[in-house]
Each structure stands twice: as structure tokens, then as C-alpha cells.
Structure 1
Amino acid sequence: MFAPAHAQQVNILSYNVHNCIGMDKEYNYRRIANVISQTSPDIVALQELDSVTVRNKGIHALGELEKLTGMHGTYAAAIPFQGGSYGIGILSREIPIKYKIIPMPGREEKRTLIIAEFKDYVFCATHQSLTPEDQLLAVPLIEKALQNVDKPIFMAGDMNSAPASVPQLELAKHFATLNDTTSYTFPADRPNRCIDYIYGYSKNGYRFDVQYRKVIEDTISSDHRPVQVIVQVKGK
């Protein structure tokens, strides 16, 4: 499926942007773009993006963030919504070689996973269900989608589960959590839990040296705080 390669240092951000609506209830794409740009990421997993919906006044949120950050956007609709769609996305410095979209379980609303291949690594972005049973059902689906990948793999997103939860413990069998889960990400103004994660996939033999990690202390731009990790991939 994917040919082997070796990654260099990668600066990763995961950010649930709440459709670019801040804690002050204001739509502000530039504010979100500034938060992203200040971290100088190579790649970003984004959650809660409207695309040409009524409430978004016909704006493609990821397209706005592309223009404002100068990065390339890859979008995946999770559900139809108000004449458009609602989903997740990736912003990247490089244009993906290819990507695919995998449906994920979600009884309250359908969920999705983007798997994008780049020259030196594969990046997965997701926003998991609020329901623990669905989160657990998603784990083997993610595993199956990655079983033939022989590049370093990262995954990032809003997982809607605590570090000690059963879904996280199941993921931990093959994914190394790279962010500090004692640094809370939600809610942005007074965070009291970690539900946003960045992972390295360990099953295919790659190892990950975390050089820097931080939850960005932004209390206004979204209802989540963004999570940043700078990681060096160690070969097999």
C-alpha cells in the first residue's frame, strides 16, 4: 500500500476548532489561523469544520484556514449538515501523495478518519464518537486500515475519551501517546480533562523521540486548546 521511508523531525498540531467559533461565540477564522501559525506546524489535524452550511453562511471553513495559514487542506465530511457538510480536515506543508477516508462508528453522529500519505510518513486525523462503545469499535477499524503501511504513522485528533479509559488502553497496545495527557485540553477556559491526543504507531516497528510537547494556553479561540508535539522518528 505504502512504500517504506524514514521521517525527519515532524511538528504536529491537533486542534478541535469548534468551527472557528470562540468561547466568546464569535466566528473568527483569522484568530484560529494565528494560533495555528504561531506553532509553525508541519501538519495539523482539525476537528469540527463546516463546509458551505447555512450557519457558516456558505463558507468552507478549511478553505479559509488554508488561505490564512498558507497550508494545504484535505477535508473529509462526516455528516451532511444544513445544505453542506460537517467534518474534519488536515492542514499540511506538503501536498499529500494520496489520501483515503474511512468511516468510523458514531451512534450520535457518524465519524470519520483521514489517512494521508506524505513522502516521509503517513498521517491520520480523526474525531471519535462520544460513545465509549463506538470508540472501542473504532480501534480494530483503525488497525485494519494501517496494517499494510510501512512508513512511520502518526494519528491525531479529538478522541472524546480519558487517558485511562478502555478505548485508550486498547489503542495503547499499538499506539504510543506522544502528548502529555496530564496537560488538559478541554474546556479551553478552564480545562479539566485531556481528550485530544497525538500518537505514534508502534506496531510496524518505528520508535518516536518526543523533543517538545505542549498544550497551547489559548482560552478564547475555540472550546478546546490545541496540542503540539515535535517528534523525531527513530528507524526500525
Structure 2
Amino acid sequence: MNDSASAPTFKLASYNIHKAVGTDRQRDPLRILKVLAEVDADIVVLQEADRRFGTRDRTLPDFLVEQHSDYVPVPFDVQHDSMGWHGNSIMVRRDISVIDHDVLHIPYLEPRGVVTATLQLPGGAELSVFGMHLDLSGLWRVRQARAIAELAQAAQRERPTLLAGDLNEWRPNGGCLKEFARHFTLLDCGRSFHSQRPLGRLDRIMHGPSLEAVDFGVHHSPLASRASDHLPVWADLRAPAKRAAAT
């Protein structure tokens, strides 16, 4: 019997929400949640989920997320009133269990960080997810990718692993993409920036060898083109079937 044929699938999305400020320069967190409803992912990796300066308040208030979505933010709790770490956050559907979570320090020219969570899907499969927003400097992006890939490889030895975020990489195959490609499969979801006229493939999803990408792409709707300067990217993935214990 082919185990992969019966293995469950799930959907992951990555979205730079630009602090909930759209192309009309209006801050509208409810609009972001409506876009996420259109995408309909099980796991959402967010960038720029907090304001950049001051107390770095979250731009998707808890009460709006609770009332207008099926998601629960992973509780990183490292920056007061923030949703994540340096603007990075992860949200999951309510039927997904958060086993563990952490924030990771990486080399940077400007303040950057990585969030990670160990999740259990409804069918019992576990996976590790890394969310990131890399530096504008190409040299620092490569250093960051090397550090993140090393940490993700360690996670991959324990369970299937996914990485997603705004890599800020314009080159199609070089720079930080080359570092990640040494160990993970990079999905070319498509052009996601700028949302009004997409040219750059800045937003990426990557997975380890134990996961299979069934489909992937960019979510481009009239609402998404206004809600942020980035479009969400998504991937349908198949997790390994959970094997029954030997008797």
C-alpha cells in the first residue's frame, strides 16, 4: 500500500501584511483577516505583524482575530503587546495543537529574528514551522539563511520541517536562496511583490524531504491587491502518514 496516497494534506500560507496598512495607506486589520479567509490556510506565517517602532504593538488585535477568524496566534510572549518577534508571527487553526514554540536570534544588520513552532495536525502528524523576514542587505541575508538552515536541519531530524517568509531576495537562484536550497526544496509560488503590479518573488515557502508539495501559488484577489504591498503565497502539502505502533 502507498502510504503517501492516504496521508493527510494541509495548507500553509505566508503573508507580509505591512503592519495592516494597505496600498490606500489605510490601516485596516479586518481587511487582512478577510484576505486570510480567502486564502483559507491551516497555518499562516506572518511578517510585519507588529508596528515597527515604540512598543511594537500588534496590528491584528486579539479580539478581531478571535471574532473574525478561525485562527489562534502562537503565544510567543517575548515582546509586550506584540504578536510575535520582530514582526514575525504564526497563527494556526483551532484544531491544530501547539506543542512548543520559540524565538531565534540570527545575525543582522537591522533588527531581525525568526519564530518557530512545533505543531500537531488533526490527524496526529507533527511538523516544525519556521517563520522569517530577512535583511535588505544581500550579505546579511546569506548569513541569516545559513544560520536558519542549520537550525531547521536539526528540527528536520526530529519531524517534517517547513520554512516560510519574506526573504527579500530578488535574484531567482542566488544569494540566500542558494543557501536554503542546499538542504530544502524551494517552492516558486510566483510573483508576490508589489501587490499592485507583482514583479518580485520575495515571499517563499520551503520544505524538507519528508513533505510533499501537492500545489502552490500566489493568492491574487482584488482585496489582496489593496490590503498590503505583498500578496500571500500558499502551498498545499502532504505530511507523512502517522504509522501505527507495532504490535
- TM bucket, shorter chain: 0.7 to 0.9
Distance 1:39 1:114, change over 3 A: same
User: 1:157 is aligned with what amino acid?
Assistant: G
User: 1:66 is aligned with what amino acid?
Assistant: V
Within a 5 Å distance, the mapping from 1:126-205 to structure 2 comes to 126-149=132-155, 150-162=158-170, 163-180=172-189, 183-202=190-209
2:238 paired residue among 224, 227, 232: 232
Contact 1:75 1:88 in 2 (8 A): no
The answer on 1:61 being equivalent to 2:60 is: yes
CA distance in 1, matches of 2:21, 2:185: 31
| Greater Cα radius of gyration, structure 1 or 2 | 2
Shift of 1:75: 5.8
What's the secondary structure of 1:49's corresponding residue?
A: coil
Shift of 1:16: 0.1
CA distance in 2, matches of 1:145, 1:215: 27
Contact 1:125 1:156 in 2 (8 A): yes
Aligned residue number for residue 4 of structure 1: none
CA distance in 1, matches of 2:135, 2:52: 23
Shift of 1:134: 1.0
User: 1:87 is aligned with what amino acid?
Assistant: G
Aligned residues: 221
Aligned residue number for residue 111 of structure 2: 110
What's the secondary structure of 2:173's corresponding residue?
A: coil
Contact 2:49 2:89 in 1 (8 A): yes
Shift of 1:211: 2.2
Shift of 1:72: 1.1
Aligned residue number for residue 12 of structure 1: 12
TM-score, reference length from structure 1: 0.82
Shift of 1:207: 4.0
CA distance in 2, matches of 1:62, 1:92: 16
User: 1:215 is aligned with what amino acid?
Assistant: V
Could you list the runs of 5+ residues in structure 2 that have no partner in the other structure? 1-6, 121-125, 242-247
Contact 2:55 2:80 in 1 (8 A): no
Distance 1:197 1:23, change over 3 A: same
Shift of 1:60: 5.0
CA distance in 2, matches of 1:89, 1:123: 11
Aligned residue number for residue 3 of structure 1: none
TM-score, reference length from structure 2: 0.79
What's the secondary structure of 1:220's corresponding residue?
A: helix
Shift of 1:125: 0.6
CA RMSD between the two structures: 3.0
Contact 2:31 2:227 in 1 (8 A): yes
Could you list the runs of 5+ residues in structure 1 that have no partner in the other structure? 1-6
